[in-house]
Structure 1
Amino acid sequence: MGKIQTKLGLSTICVILTTFCFGQKDDTGKKLGKVSKLFRTETVLPVQMSYSNRDLKKLTNDSTYINIDLSYLEDTDTIRVMPIRVRARGNFRRKNCYFSPVKVRIKKDDAKGTLFKGNKKLKLVLPCLKENSANDNVIQELLAYKLYETISPYHFRTRLLDLTLNEIKGKKIHEHKIKAFFIEDIDELEDRFGGKELKRNVHPLQQDSIISVRNAFFQYMIGNTDFSTGYQHNQKILFVDGFSIPIPYDFDMSGLCNTSYSVVSQIDGLVLPLEKVTDRLYRGFERSESTMQAVRGEFLDNKSKMMAILEDHRRFFESPKVFEISKKYILDFFDILESPAKFKSEILIRARTK
């Protein structure tokens, strides 16, 4: 069980915001399971961790973890320390990034009585490189998750962190103060929706039609082509009440983030016909026009809510220019939806048939 330390001062203390309700309902009105305490609030969570970047990348794999402590600010003057296990994840970023994204495992007994109760596994998203845009890139990716929340109940919940990462380099320790966020595990969605993760490939046309199109519209909105709903690349498939439901994640290669390391995606070894990652290409499959128009209407109905989410995250951006670019990128998507001619030419007639 995590131990308590008092007045150790993990710097930033954030105002507690109104928490989300414990339960929620899906599209059918079915009451869902509880959301774990960690993800019930939008409050930024101050966290501290210490490990060697080199050890994380060289000594860990899908089954091998290293043991460290995670410290987090529980209230205004109390630090709780909890043992966790971590490993590097993501083949591309393990090779190309200074900070590798992290998979976290927590023993049930260690999480008992802490903010992390009920979370056995978590993903931790970090900046890729030590560069001026690093923290803003994290906020841009977080925004993608938050925007998807408005359009589908089937989504991964996230929690923004003020992370103090003490990087161990031999006898020296390099302190990095960075933005990061936790992503809940698919196990939490299984419990919440009473579903089961599908490990096998499921063709998009065999998935729930409305949710599949919502996913395709969302990926187009953020300018992301680095995904496959059929082969579960940056997607999970949840089987609920007889329906296969795609749930997207990992958006750092999207046009919305436009990271310095982004590259245009390749499908089956072929580069997509895009000049840069900020170019949009609709990758959804052909559906009935009534389905496409219904989802178009959902996005238009939620435009004000999505733009409000963007504005609410303005304060986390270090560069006002990067925020304005992000905002314009999303507004450009709505310009396409609001124009019947653009909607037809950029989305309807570009839907895939194979």
Structure 2
Amino acid sequence: MMGRILLWLLAIALVSPAAAAVGERPLFSSPDVLRLTIKGPLSTIVRNRAEDPRPATLTVDGTTEQLPITLTTRGITRRASDICQFPPLKVRFTNPPADSPFSGQKSLKLVTHCKAAPAFQQYVLLEYAAYRMLNVLSPASFRVRLAQIDYVDDNGRSLGLRYGFFIEDLGDVARRNGMQEAKLPEIIPITALSTRHAALYALFQHMIANHDWSMRAGPKGEACCHNAKMIAPARGVAAAVIPIPYDFDFSGLVNAPYATPPDVLKIANVRQRLYRGYCAHNGEAYAVAVQMRSQRPQVYAALTSTPGLDPKTAARATQFLDSFFADIASNDILKAKVLKSCL
């Protein structure tokens, strides 16, 4: 086992080193909502969800420049036409100019609205808020940028103005934190994980009641990890990796109508919390809980300040978070209510 861990750490050291640390890209340096027009063969993309890229243009409102882009469908559940009327997209750029908010970007995930019904706008905004809440707790997290997007077909017909958000590229997350992307095998040992960050990962997922993840293994036949990306210290530094969660639409906080908990957990619905952190990290979990309690006002502010979020939606989400903070109100309560189910 020790030999496998050493080989695994060597694999981290051999990944290509990150470029020199860079500042935050302009796209993610502002909380302002972007107003965009994306024009292209959107009806074809909606009808045919193959992964072949389609040429399109992106225009930032208030400018005349059309950025050439390609659009590709992505995802698993939300890409299915029987789940979502509109699929999530990957947007690829070709050298955006220096004065563009997309300067420096090459490829970004775009979280879209799934369906046209107003409720689905709220699901998008709640998932966006989840990323923002994690940003409060750790810089080792994906930053996001909210946008109102007018989707225009190549024949000029608008398919509607909808909220969506872009997710920061993993390489930029790594560079912001003075690290690099970690290339991992299918399954990694618990000892390979940063104890502090793994405890934060698990408690954050517990806070939003998300169970659709693994910070140690990927889906069968795929590399690590499921709805988690890993960053690691620079080349030659043998240290634990940091798991970074993403994809929160199956969480109880969002409570999308298609979301179901994993069958193996035997819980009734996604609003029911079940802690899935590791017992080996319980010592750090107490420290993370202290941090979360101290930053509770900022966490709530990240939620309630979300543009476009309906006050009733925000109130329900706040009440949902209240129950989590009641369960971590003290070390004794945390142990009895949360950590008792550790793995």
> Does the TM-score normalized on the shorter chain lie above 0.5?
yes
Which of the numbers 46, 49, 61 marks the counterpart of 2:38? 49
- Measured in 1, the distance between the counterparts of 2:322 and 2:232 equals 33
Q: What is the distance in 2 between the residues matched to 1:256 and 1:321?
A: 13
Task: Pick from 309, 316, 321 the counterpart of residue 330 of structure 1.
Answer: 321
Partner of 1:256: 253
- Match for residue 91 of structure 1 among 49, 70, 76: 76
2:93 to 106, 113, 128: 106
Give 1:316's match in structure 2, choosing from 308, 311, 315.
308
Select the structure with the greater relative contact order (CA < 8 A; seq sep ≥ 6): 2
User: Residue deviations 1:211-230, cap 9 Å, x none?
Assistant: 11001000000000011111
Which whole-Å CA distance do the structure 2 matches of 1:182 and 1:351 have between them?
A: 33
Question: What residue in structure 2 maps to residue 67 of structure 1?
Answer: 55
SS at match of 1:294: helix
What is the CA distance between 1:309 and its match in structure 2?
1.8
Secondary structure at 2:23 match in 1? coil
Task: Provide the rounded CA distance (Å) in 1 between the counterparts of 2:29 and 2:189.
Answer: 33
Task: Please give the alpha-carbon distance, in whole angstroms, between the structure 2 residues aligned to 1:204 and 1:126.
Answer: 34
Partner amino acid for 2:38?
A: M
2:105 maps to a residue whose letter is N
> Does structure 2 conserve the Cα–Cα contact (< 8 Å) formed by 1:204 and 1:229?
no
User: Residue 280 of structure 2 corresponds to which residue in structure 1?
Assistant: 287
SS state of the match for residue 338, structure 1?
A: coil
Residue 33 of structure 1: aligned partner: 22
The CA distance in 1 between the partners of 2:213 and 2:98, in whole Å, is 36
User: What is the rounded CA distance, in whole Å, between the counterparts of 1:339 and 1:78 in structure 2?
Assistant: 52
After superposition, the C-alpha distances for 1:188-243 in whole angstroms (9 at most, x for unaligned) are 12332342222324334421000110010000000000111112111101112533
C-alpha displacement at 1:289, in angstroms?
4.3
Q: Which residue of 2 aligns with 1:120?
A: 106
Q: Contact 2:212 / 2:227 at 8 angstroms: preserved in 1? A: yes
- TM superposition outliers: structure 1 runs of 4+ over 4 Å: none
Maintained 8 Å contact 1:111/1:119: no
Determine if contact 1:122/1:184 at 8 Å carries over to the other structure.
yes
Whether the aligned pair in 2 keeps the contact of 1:127 and 1:135 (CA below 8 Å) is yes
Q: Deviations over 1:293-322 (max 9, x none)?
A: 111111111111112222322x522x3322
- The CA distance in 2 between the partners of 1:197 and 1:189, in whole Å, is 9
In 2, Cα distance between equivalents of 1:316 and 1:204: 40
1:220 alignment counterpart:
206
Structure 1 residues 247-302: Cα deviation after superposition (integer angstroms, max 9, x where no partner):
11110110000011111124xxx3x1210111111111112543221111111111
Is the Cα–Cα contact under 8 Å of residues 60 and 66 in structure 1 kept in the other structure?
no
The structure where strand makes up a greater share of residues is 1
Q: What SS does the corresponding residue of 1:139 show, helix, strand or coil?
A: helix
Normalised by the size of structure 2, how large is the TM-score? 0.84
2:202 counterpart SS class: helix
**Superposed displacement of residue 70, structure 1:** 0.4
Which residue number corresponds to residue 300 of structure 1? 293
- Name whichever of 304-313 and 175-184 sits farther off: 304-313
Contact 1:47–1:164 (CA under 8 A) maintained in structure 2: yes
CA 1:92–1:53 in structure 2 vs 1: closer, same or farther (change >3 Å)? Answer: farther
Tell me what 2:195 maps to: 209
The CA distance in 1 between the partners of 2:273 and 2:288, in whole Å, is 18
Q: Which runs of 5+ in 1 are unaligned?
A: 1-30
TM-score (norm 1): 0.81
> Do 2:150 and 2:158's aligned partners in 1 also have CA atoms closer than 8 Å?
no
Find the aligned partners of 1:84 and 1:105 in 2 and give their Cα distance. 5
Match in the other structure for 1:18: none
